[in-house]
Amino acid sequence: MPRFAANLSVLFNELDFMDRFAAAAQAGFAGVECQFPYAYAPEDMAAQLKSHGLMQVLHNLPAGDWAAGERGIACHPDRIEDFRAGVERAMAYATALGCERVNCLAGIAPADADPGLLRATFLDNLRFAADRLAGAGIRLLVEPINTRDVPGFFLNRSDQAIALIEDTGSSNIWLQYDVYHMQIMEGDLAPIIEKHLDRISHIQISDTPGRHEPGSGEINYPFLFDFLDRIGYRGWVGAEYRPLTTTSEGLGWFRAAS
């Protein structure tokens, strides 16, 4: 059985954020992740983790002005200083939380920008972040995102991500494979996961259409969970989905997998 982590940015959202740690532990999760922890004091989050015996397994780098539509700034040539400041902030949180993985969102390609410049900027930013995080024992992840939900997102396929990782020359950059996004963009889930298994450090799950809980859509999650065990995947699987009703009512997939 894979190791499952509850994404507290989207699950148990009928509760205040700090109360979601207890709910995740009570439901049987051993790990938690969140999208952006920066609205909360790291010492308060660390206390919740310790109190409920949970591991913080992932959070994202700051991604710009989310409310204004930004979805990462790593490929933006005019945001390099903001990106680097975000790396320092993410590293401070990860260190305080004992979190060993930080995910980088490439961002939406600016209109009329030179694709070569965007790629070069992204590569330079990845190298910088990977080097800084390596010194703290933290892995840098990159995540392809589907362009149906986020039109214009710069990084949107597994092979594209692997090529970028290789071009950085860094040994501290890994693939975050989100099953929902990759089902939309490329399908062929099992062969692609197996192909890139040695570069995948984290997997996230939700079903399509709708980005709801496993079992609500077209993806055969019982097969996929068994497949991950068969091929020897040892990382975490983050449950990052929008519950159809309440989180507790939609955990049948988790109980079945457990």
Domain-embedded: residue 24: no
225 CB-side CA count, 13 A: 20
Q: Which of 33, 100, 143, 213 is catalytic?
A: 143
Domain-embedded: residue 22: no
* Bridge partners (DSSP) listed for residue 218: none
- For residue 213, give the CATH number of its domain: 3.20.20.150
Residue ranges in 135-188 assigned as alpha helix (H): 158-168, 179-185
Domain-embedded: residue 21: no
Averaged pLDDT, 218-227: 98
Distances in whole angstroms, Cα of residue 219 to Cα of each of 12, 66, 248, 249: 23, 29, 21, 19
Is-catalytic flag, 194? Answer: no
Domain-embedded: residue 173: yes
* Bridge partners (DSSP) listed for residue 33: 7, 58
Domain-embedded: residue 85: yes
- pLDDT tens for each residue of 152-166: 999 999 999 999 999
Domain count, the chain: 1
Residue 197 exposed, middle or buried by CB count within 10 Å (0-12, 13-18, 19+): middle
Contact 242, 210 (CB under 8 A): yes
Is-catalytic flag, 143? Answer: yes
* Domain of residue 131, residue span: 3-10+32-257
Cβ-based neighbours of 191, under 8 Å, separated by 6 or more: none
In which band, very low, low, confident or very high, does the pLDDT at 115 lie, cut at 50, 70 and 90? very high
Domain-embedded: residue 27: no
Domain-embedded: residue 65: yes
Q: ω into residue 42 within 30 of 0, thus cis?
A: no
Place of tokens 């965007």: 118
Contact 14, 237 (CB under 8 A): no
Distances in whole angstroms, Cα of residue 19 to Cα of each of 8, 121, 207: 10, 39, 26
Q: What is the pLDDT of residue 258?
A: 84
Task: Give percent of the chain above pLDDT 90.
Answer: 98
pLDDT at 1 over 90: no
In which band, very low, low, confident or very high, does the pLDDT at 117 lie, cut at 50, 70 and 90? very high
Domain-embedded: residue 106: yes
Task: State the DSSP code for 209.
Answer: T
Q: Which of 33, 100, 213, 240 is catalytic?
A: 240
Taking the model in full, what pTM does it have?
0.96
- pLDDT tens for each residue of 29-57: 999 999 999 999 999 999 999 999 999 99
- pLDDT tens for each residue of 7-32: 999 999 999 999 999 999 999 999 99
Averaged pLDDT, 229-258: 96
